[in-house]
A and B are shown apart, each in its own frame.
Chain A
């Protein structure tokens, strides 16, 4: 009987109860799958809402750090910025950053951005504009703003000098040393210091280094040819100081030296990286930058 019926209604055969149950189960399974997958992807919101995904970003990262969303939206998570950085400062975030998975960040204490690229290669490498092309020079960068978080720990504030490898012999971080090689960074552990008063954060600040160079060039005004690469990339002189060592009197009549962060700080994190105290006396705040500090 049922066979007969089916052959009559050939175009749309009625489903047997078994098939019906099967397709109902399949529909339910598919709904659970959809809910599960979308739910899993939305878990990416959690670290973002908690703010645990906030990190130091490469130069030119969109907007302010508070506006992380725009940066996440525009980043295609390809890591081309990682590939061009000469000091390998840029890393890609993992699953724990939720929606931030695959976006670049910098762990300054481990390896800060010392601008040894000279031309903001990461910005040039970015295919989507997540690192804005509005930057021309390192001094235009707004990654954050340094702060002397633990003044008591600061060696200069204690009137102490520093001798030896800034971060110990095992430290893997790189820095570019003007006096060693203008273009290629070397391991910090290969470059010991001997300082009467510790001024590492000022001494190694890329902005300060550049200002010193510019001043030297200015005072010489020589016929010496400017390095061609510097000419090509138009490596301009930073307009403002980023950090200086200034004398302070703490009330006990003794004058001490204190690192003071200036308007020109771009938040690159080199001071945090090079600070020999554990943990660093100076850190980079992500919620501030040279512009917001000036306004407030």
Chain B
């Protein structure tokens, strides 16, 4: 239950307070107590050094390959007219079966106030798919803007490191404001207002049907992320992420945190797109020895890649034991 509660708190942008001693299990308390003063900075540094580099490591490679593959499947399908995957990421038919992006479908439903059967089929298919595969997995494993944004992020971090720019954060609650406002705008104006600025839709269409002027908008967003605020669109604006975060509440695919091996040095939080979900990795931040990272997590695997002690791992609920 607390997983769902934590996830909702994270999705709406609330901070989850550190668990008090009463909320922590005896085992995890013992682990925290046992670590006190044990690890020197040099030890942590040594372990980190022994760990492989973070760029293009295992999960990042797999994720980039998947993301590019899925998007290219759309492109190739249209280009060679093989009718395997028709449409774009907002709405598609995969071998004749309807798929509809849940947020685009929501916008249409609110604006048009009428839903045809094909759209219902598309919504149910996609809902079930992401319910099984993971909620915000769409963001990091499929969304083409995510990949561009990821590269922009490297540039941003490099500029910050060089002290050329400073990162500016926003209040995370603003994302829910956007979610509500865009839903209301669709309902009131009768236009799918969010689609006008959605970089996911714009990029997906640009890839499949050819580039257009709308890419200028995507470029502006990227510049904003590079020079002003790290990952601003994904972190603070995009309602698609919120939609899938909600769908992913019950998803069995998660990232699991194990407090035992953790050095609490925070490398994972540095690479994370949504670092608030990893606050449980701060010393005495977890309630249990093993705890799942909340559904605001995009399951991108950057933390899994970077963690020098394998405290963070992928897990599929109910299947993990079988997989071992």
Contact = CB atoms under 8 A, between A and B. Distances in A.
A74 B87 contact: no
A44 B196 contact: yes
A80 B86 contact: yes
Given A45-B189, A77-B88, A96-B213, 10 more contacts: A33-B236, A37-B237, A38-B182, A44-B193, A69-B190, A76-B105, A83-B86, A125-B86, A127-B98, A127-B116
B196 A34 contact: no
A77 B174 contact: no
A78 B91 contact: yes
Interface string A68-91: 011011111111101110000001
Contacts of A98: 196
A127 B185 contact: no
Query: For B104, B108, B182, which residue has the most chain A Cβ atoms within 10 angstroms?
Result: B108
B33 interface: no
Interface in B30-63: none
Contact of B88 (A78, A99, A125): A78
A101 interface: yes
B2 interface: no
Contacts of A70: 112, 190
A23 B173 CA distance: 13
B169 A41 contact: no
Contacts of B122: 127
Nearest to A94: B212
Interface stretch (A24-32, A223-231, A247-255, A280-288): A24-32
Interface of B: 78, 81, 83, 86-88, 90-93, 98, 100-101, 104-105, 108, 111-114, 116, 118-119, 122, 168-171, 173-174, 177-178, 181-182, 185, 189-197, 201-202, 205, 208-209, 212-214, 216-217, 232, 236-237
B191 A26 contact: no
8 tightest CB-CB pairs across the interface, nearest first?
A78-B91, A73-B111, A44-B196, A129-B116, A78-B87, A95-B214, A94-B212, A73-B112
A101 B202 contact: yes
B197 A78 contact: no
B208 A94 contact: no
Interface of A: 23, 26-27, 29-30, 33-34, 37-38, 40-45, 48, 69-70, 72-80, 82-84, 91-92, 94-96, 98-99, 101-102, 125-129, 133
A102 B185 contact: no
Contacts of B212: 94-95
Contacts, number: 159
Contacts of A94: 212-214
20 contacts: A23-B171, A30-B171, A44-B196, A69-B191, A73-B191, A75-B192, A76-B100, A78-B90, A80-B91, A80-B93, A83-B81, A83-B87, A95-B213, A99-B193, A102-B201, A127-B91, A128-B91, A128-B116, A129-B116, A129-B119
Contact of B192 (A43, A73, A84, A125): A73
A94 B195 CA distance: 12
A41 B91 contact: no
Contacts of A125: 86, 93
A76 B232 CA distance: 25
Contacts of A41: 182, 185, 193-194, 196-197
Interface of B, secondary structure class, is helix
A42 B197 CA distance: 9
Contacts of B88: 77-79
Contact of B171 (A26, A38, A80, A101): A26
Nearest to A31: B174
A259 B93 CA distance: 42
Contact of A101 (B100, B118, B196): B196
B199 to A, nearest CB: 12
Contacts of B216: 95
A99 B208 contact: no
Nearest to A37: B237
A101 B197 CA distance: 9
B112 A102 contact: no
A102 B93 CA distance: 17
A43 B191 CA distance: 12
A128 B193 contact: no
Contacts of B116: 127-129, 133
A38 B194 CA distance: 9
A60 to B, nearest CB: 13
Contact of B181 (A23, A33, A38, A133): A38
A15 to B, nearest CB: 13
Contacts of A45: 189, 191
A208 to B, nearest CB: 30
A258 B93 CA distance: 46
Contacts of B81: 83
Contact of A102 (B170, B181, B195, B237): B195
Nearest to A43: B196
A72 B111 CA distance: 9
Query: For B83, B90, B173, which residue has the most chain A Cβ atoms within 10 angstroms?
Result: B90
A212 B104 CA distance: 44
A34 B169 CA distance: 13
